[in-house]
Homo-oligomer: A and B are copies of this chain.
Amino acid sequence: MPEKTATISAKVVARLSLYRRLLASEAAGGARHIYSHQLATRAGVSAEQVRRDMMAVGYNGTPIRGYCIAELMNCIDGLLDAAQGQNAAIVGLGNLGRAITVYSAGRWPKLSIVAAFDHDPAKVGQVINGCTCYQDADIPRIVAERNIRVAIVAVPASEAQKVADSLVEAGVKGILNFAPARLRVPPDVYVENMDVAVSLEKVAYFARQAPVRKAAAGAREMGSEDAIQ
């Protein structure tokens, strides 16, 4: 088995993360086994999709009881979690940064936000759920000291690139970017954009495309989805 680990696609990783959370909730409810179609329903995907993903993780269920929840969770843990744990940092302690920091605290055994950074000196020294806020100028030092490879960027768009540069320079290899800006990073750095503006416009667009209910006699804004161009 000298074969190198085939890297799993981003979509599969995302679903595995979701499955894991759903499985934990099932386990907490006392369930021991689960069928692909059950997990699929909870995740909002098809049963075949779930089974394909099981192929990707290399876990086999049995036709008789489906998947053993505990085993499957272990299997997913083995793929998604760093064996020795990972440290993360967050830059920007506005409302958004605080929300994420609070939400993340203690949520993962193998991944912790261990440092926060902000430009505002008034925030430096604050401690949120055990995570200390440092001056943003200290990014290079702290990131190196704590061996931080994962960062969350929650600063205004105008500062995002600058922040990303210093993070990357300090050794960060993955960035979760909430700033409404596209970051330029070297090809070995993974960036995931959480662009609220884009997503909201998308939702607004598809909300308008929603089929008009037949029963409603007086739907009033019939013209609105007429296409442009």
Q: Number of contact residues on A: which range applies?
A: 35 or more
Specify which of B104, B215, B221 is in contact with A200 (CB 8 Å cutoff).
Answer: B104
Q: A224 touching B84 by the CB < 8 A rule?
A: yes
Specify which of B21, B88, B203, B228 is in contact with A43 (CB 8 Å cutoff).
Answer: B228
User: A1-24 toward B: CB 8 Å interface, digit per residue (1/0)?
Assistant: 000110110110111011001100
The answer for the CA separation of A194 and B99 in the assembled complex, in Å, is 14
Specify which of B11, B13, B111, B226 is in contact with A4 (CB 8 Å cutoff).
Answer: B226
Residues of B within 8 A of A130 (CB): none
Residues of B within 8 A of A212 (CB): 4, 7
Copies of this protein in the assembly total: 2
Q: B187 touching A229 by the CB < 8 A rule?
A: no
The answer for the CA separation of A212 and B103 in the assembled complex, in Å, is 31
Using CB atoms, name the residue of chain B closest to A201: B17
A199 within 8 Å of B (CB atoms)? yes
User: A201-214 toward B: CB 8 Å interface, digit per residue (1/0)?
Assistant: 11111111111110
Q: B45 touching A88 by the CB < 8 A rule?
A: no
Q: B193 touching A216 by the CB < 8 A rule?
A: no
Residues of B within 8 A of A62 (CB): none
A145 within 8 Å of B (CB atoms)? no
The answer for the CA separation of A83 and B96 in the assembled complex, in Å, is 31
Using CB atoms, name the residue of chain B closest to A96: B99
Using a CB–CB cutoff of 8 Å, the interface residues on chain A facing chain B are 4-5, 7-8, 10-11, 13-15, 17-18, 21-22, 42-45, 57-59, 75, 78-80, 82-84, 86, 88, 94-96, 98-100, 102-104, 107-108, 111, 149-150, 152, 172-176, 180, 182, 187-213, 215-219, 221-229
Supply 10 A–B pairs (Cβ within 8 Å), ascending by A.
A5-B227, A15-B228, A80-B205, A88-B200, A103-B197, A150-B200, A173-B207, A188-B211, A191-B219, A192-B221
